[in-house]
Copies of this chain bind each other. A is one copy, B any other.
Amino acid sequence: MNRFWSSLVQRTDPYVPGEQLNQPDLLKLNTNENPYPPSPKVAEAIKEEAENLRLYPSPTVDVLRDAIAGHFNLKRDQVFIGNGSDEVLAFSFMAFFEPGKAIRFPAITYSFYPVYAKIFDIPYELTPMQDDFSIQIEELFNTDGGVIFPNPNAPTGIYLPLDGIKQVLEQNPDQVVIVDEAYIDFAGESAASLVDAYENLLVIQTTSKSRSLAGLRVGYALGQKHLIEALIRIKDSFNSYTIDRLAIQGALASFQDQAYFEETTKKIIATREQTVEKLQSLGFAVIPSQANFVFARHAEKPAEELYLKLKENNVLVRHFNKAPIDNYLRITIGTDQEMNRFIETLSSLV
């Protein structure tokens, strides 16, 4: 603490992202990056736009909003673009949640939510999970301040079908319900199809995972116009130009190459299913994941020990040192070759 720090800084409890190590030959399965590069059209578009950097980008990012709206069969004014879905989440906490009114989210979830709640002074309640770590939707009914949860959930990978989401929306008619779909392209149907029907629904997605653009920082929100307008008001009170020219053109090129996106996504899903089987044969209990990662616990070996031994062997996975998930490893799905190397290393440890 320091006498120059505001009370807001003093109450921060910053999020700790996964390690970003840089050693050669590291097998990096810890931050849910896509093992495949983005569509080759992305680099082409970026190279072209690199000649225009002296000029400000569009503050309204309409060209990309139109492309994303088209992809989801929505309108431009139902799309908000942010600097990664984390920025969209931060703006959403500011726009829709209120100091003094408790929001709710599942006890096991994306660990950035309590960080946002602290900085923006939003009280929150953690709702208990079912025994299999899936979300108890009834616990998210009738909230004071609103609801947020990832779907598929993080770090479990469990997908909640749209029927459950509809119930949460209907049982919170005066609060905003945020469905954080960072991993939805590896799972079932997106709640984007519910936007026109529910005035309290905000869906948040990212290009970081399924579109292989973690390094470009483009996320977006889908919702009815009145919710999008609130996000725009926050952004324009904060930073007029959050998305640079290269990010606009790069993300646009990605949305224009749907075939590539579908092909790489299918490959990752297939590798995930094979990895689950191999983990089970090594004595792991694996939570049924619909994301680009799996969450698994070994019958005998403690997760922390495995995490450290894997790291010694140049394989990085993610371990959350926090009950009740402290005996699990979160393992990003790489290519088939990468997962073979992972399984081989792991076999020697269990």
Contacts and interface: CB of A to CB of B under 8 A. Distances in A.
Given A2-B226, A95-B8, A226-B2, A13 B51 contact: no
Contacts of A54: 33-38, 212-215
Contacts of A20: 56, 58-59
A317 to B, nearest CB: 16
Nearest to A92: B6
Contact of A56 (B33, B37, B119, B237): B33
Contacts of A46: 46-47, 50, 246
Interface in A174-218: 174-176, 199-200, 208, 212-217
Contact of A226 (B4, B49, B87, B115): B4
A83 interface: yes
Nearest to A58: B20
Contacts of A29: none
Oligomeric state, in number of copies?
A: 2
B7 A240 contact: no
A73 to B, nearest CB: 23
Contacts of A37: 51, 53-54
A121 to B, nearest CB: 10
Interface of A is mostly: loop
A215 B55 contact: yes
A245 B90 contact: no
A58 B147 CA distance: 31
A238 B87 contact: yes
A94 interface: yes
Contacts of A238: 86-87, 90, 116, 119
Interface stretch (A150-158, A228-236, A336-344): A228-236
Nearest to A59: B17
A335 to B, nearest CB: 11
A281 interface: no
A136 interface: no
Given A17-B240, A216-B244, A9 B234 contact: yes
A176 B4 contact: yes
10 contacts: A6-B97, A6-B98, A17-B240, A33-B55, A37-B53, A37-B54, A52-B215, A57-B214, A116-B238, A118-B237
Interface of A: 2-9, 12-17, 20, 28, 31, 33-38, 42-43, 46-47, 49-59, 83-84, 86-87, 90, 94-99, 115-116, 118-119, 174-176, 199-200, 208, 212-217, 226-227, 229-230, 232-234, 236-247, 250
Given A2-B226, A43-B50, A116-B237, 6 more contacts: A4-B227, A20-B58, A31-B56, A53-B250, A56-B214, A86-B238
